[in-house]
Structure 1
Amino acid sequence: MRYVKVLDNISTTITKDGIAELGEGYQRCDELGQADALLVRASDTRALELGPSLRCVARSGAGVNNIDVEGCARRGIVVFNSPGGNSNAVKELVVGMILTNSRQTLAGMRWVREHGGEPDIVRLAEASKKDFVGREALGRKAGVVGLGAVGSKVANALVQLGLDVYGYDPYLSVEHAWQLDRAVKRVDSMDRLCEGADYVTLHVPSKEDTVRMMGERALSLMAEGGMLVNYARADIVDEDAVDAALRGGRLARFVCDFATPKTCQMPNTLITPHMGACTGEAEESCAAMAVREMKDYLEQGTIRNSVNYPSCDMGPCRTGGRIAALHANVPNMIGQITAALAASRANIQRMSNEAAGAHAYTLVDTDEPLGEETRSRLRGIPGVYRIRVIRPS
């Protein structure tokens, strides 16, 4: 029996706690110290005391700011996220915001609400519509920063609406490159993307090279009266620079998903309460992905969509036994692992080793199950964080 601790209701539809999709052999537990896996959505796990039995943390969603990713890696705990599971939900909201706020739709609706009690409302509305003249998005330049799961969908949707779309992503994957509409013009710098842009929408994670990337210079290159949209992470924008651009007229509108003390005081700013992925479909999709990743890892040792270990997939184990080694990415680690197996006369049938930064992962299929003496020898290798035994399917 494998035990799963669930910190949040990760899905509002079919699988209320995510356990239903795991099937037999899994049981929800209340004590974190008993858990083999932790399933989380929004709860902050960084201060939690993780038990020695915990093997993985699965996040229903893309961001992992609520998880100590590096600390988990050094303990041999794999952290998964659910990239792309909510991408359509975010895309629809971003595109809707661009169109709605180009036309001053919300301002017009507020006016009607405020004057709805006037007996002459029909005549007043007709006379006041000139105060809400907007502009059409057709043919205007849109810059999409980040062309991953969300950004690629946003770029394609804007192309289909007739905008002139530019994309910037120095780390664009082959998978997402294939998904891009050929009309999206890829550029090699933020300057080229922002120059003359009527709209800039951000879709990158918060990292050292993206924090405050949308600052004074980038904003100064946009077309006067442009719109900035941020449904990625709050700290990607330099809030002081955005505030100044709004007050100076360079930006006509800032639309974001992050209610910070600063953004709430900015003029011409529309803020949603971090609801970019808040649809039943997105919650269900992310929950299903997180559960599937967790299950594949616990049962087969397969890693997909981890943020602290490399991807590795050898399929189901069809031999006598499989071990998974989570270890530091250092020279001669594979030599030490194979030497330890050779000393036990274990016959290796298949082997895979992958690395990601400071950490690495090795899967080994052997003819026969490995005894405790061999496992202890493997655990004793300097730099090995954890040795897992995976039973044949």
Structure 2
Amino acid sequence: MFKVKTYNKISEKGLSRFNGGDYQVGADLEAPEAYILRSHKLHAEAIPESLLAVARAGAGVNNLPVEDYTAKGIVAFNTPGANANAVKELVLAGMLLASRDIIGGRDFANAQTQITDAADMGKLMEAEKKRFAGNELTGKTLGIVGLGAIGSMVADMALAMGMKVAGFDPALSVEAAWRLPALVERKENLQGLLACSDYVTIHVPAIEPTKNMFNSDSLAAAKDGLVLLNFAREAIVDTSAVLAALESGKLRKYVCDFPEPAVINRSDVIALPHIGASTAEAEENCAMMAANQLRDFLEHGNIVNSVNFPVTTMGPVEGYRLTFSNQNVSGVLGNVLSIFKELDVNVIDMVNKSRGDLAYSIIDLAEMPTAEVIAAVQAVEHVIRVRVVAAK
């Protein structure tokens, strides 16, 4: 039986993926093999020796000590794309709020509590509505920074609304490129994107290369009156540079999902309380995807959507399966296979993948590996962790 420890409130649709007979799930489990969580920060928590995998029900993993997990052979999963539609729809809402003074108009209407006659209120609204005039999105250019699961959906939406779309992504994968609509104009750098866009929306992860990606230098290239939308992470934007750009008129509006004191109560800032993925559907999708990935790993050793391990999969376990992770140096797999030959272990099938400094192997064996075999593999230089997965 596998123990899965939960943090935060996880959707029941996700937790129901863990079969009651094979899994024990709860917030107070000792020696768990897996964690499933949302935004709980784990950096300060001790890592139990039993832990094999951690699944974050969401895209960002800055709340996980990923490097520490990698060093211990613990797989860290996320759920890219599971909340993409929720974020896409909020991007649309953000653009509409920035282009039409919907909030100002609502506040003005709600403030007219002294008027009791409907006809009088109607006359006032007609007289004052020009104060809240805006502009349409159709025909404007939306720049998208990051063309992955969310960015490609935002591009589809914008094109359907009659907008022009430009995109910039220095790390665009082949899979993401296939998803991208053909009408998206690819830009070679951020400055080129900013210079041609009326709106720019950010959909890249918060990693060292993207920290303060939007700063005084990059924003200097922006088209005057740009609306900047940040539903990714706060670290990607230098807030002081954004405020300076708002003061100068380089930026017309800043829409963000990460309020901080410097941007509160500004008429040119729309700050929301980190609600990009806060829909019932997104929380369910993320939880189900995280649970499915944990199950596939715990039961079969397969890895998909890990942020630290390579994608590595084989079919269902037919007999006995041994997996191991190792530092990605030459000779490790050969040394393991030599042990199998020496100890008369019959290999049925295998797959070996690498990612950066880490490698991972799945090997199907004809018989259950003995304690001697497992200990010998674990003792191979550069091997991090060895695990045996048996067929049900």
The SS at the match of 1:351 is strand
1:62 is aligned to 59
The code of the aligned residue for 2:221 comes to L
CA contact (8 A) 1:246 1:267 kept: no
Superposed displacement of residue 186, structure 1: 1.1
Between 1:286-295 and 1:219-228, the stretch displaced more is: 219-228
What aligned pairs does 1:351-362 form with structure 2 within 5 A after superposition?
351-362=350-361
CA distance in 2, matches of 1:261, 1:364: 54
What aligned pairs does 1:33-182 form with structure 2 within 5 A after superposition?
33-119=30-116, 120-182=120-182
2:217 is aligned to 217
The code of the aligned residue for 1:34 comes to A
1:372 is aligned to 371
The code of the aligned residue for 2:95 comes to I
In the TM superposition, what whole-angstrom CA distance separates every residue of 1:349-390 from its partner, at most 9, and x where no partner exists?
Answer: 211111111111011111111100010011111221110001
CA distance in 2, matches of 1:265, 1:220: 25
CA distance in 2, matches of 1:116, 1:225: 35
CA contact (8 A) 2:15 2:287 kept: no
CA contact (8 A) 1:37 1:56 kept: yes
The code of the aligned residue for 1:302 comes to N
CA distance in 2, matches of 1:239, 1:165: 25
CA distance in 2, matches of 1:162, 1:39: 40
Q: 1:29 to 1:140 in 2, by over 3 A?
A: closer
CA contact (8 A) 1:156 1:184 kept: no
The code of the aligned residue for 1:187 comes to K
Superposed displacement of residue 31, structure 1: 4.3
The SS at the match of 2:55 is strand
CA distance in 2, matches of 1:116, 1:201: 37
What is the aligned length?
388
CA distance in 2, matches of 1:366, 1:390: 10
Superposed displacement of residue 266, structure 1: 5.1
In the TM superposition, what whole-angstrom CA distance separates every residue of 1:269-317 from its partner, at most 9, and x where no partner exists?
Answer: 0111000000000000000000000000000000000011111001112
The runs of 5 or more residues in structure 1 that have no matched partner are none
Note the aligned Cα RMSD (angstroms).
Answer: 1.4
- Normalising by structure 1, we get a TM-score of 0.95
CA contact (8 A) 2:348 2:365 kept: yes
2:336 is aligned to 337
2:324 is aligned to 325
Between 1:121-130 and 1:86-95, the stretch displaced more is: 121-130
CA contact (8 A) 2:33 2:50 kept: yes
1:237 is aligned to 237
CA distance in 2, matches of 1:31, 1:279: 27
The runs of 5 or more residues in structure 2 that have no matched partner are none
The SS at the match of 2:196 is coil
CA contact (8 A) 1:247 1:267 kept: no
CA distance in 2, matches of 1:378, 1:266: 61
CA contact (8 A) 2:213 2:238 kept: yes
1:346 is aligned to 345
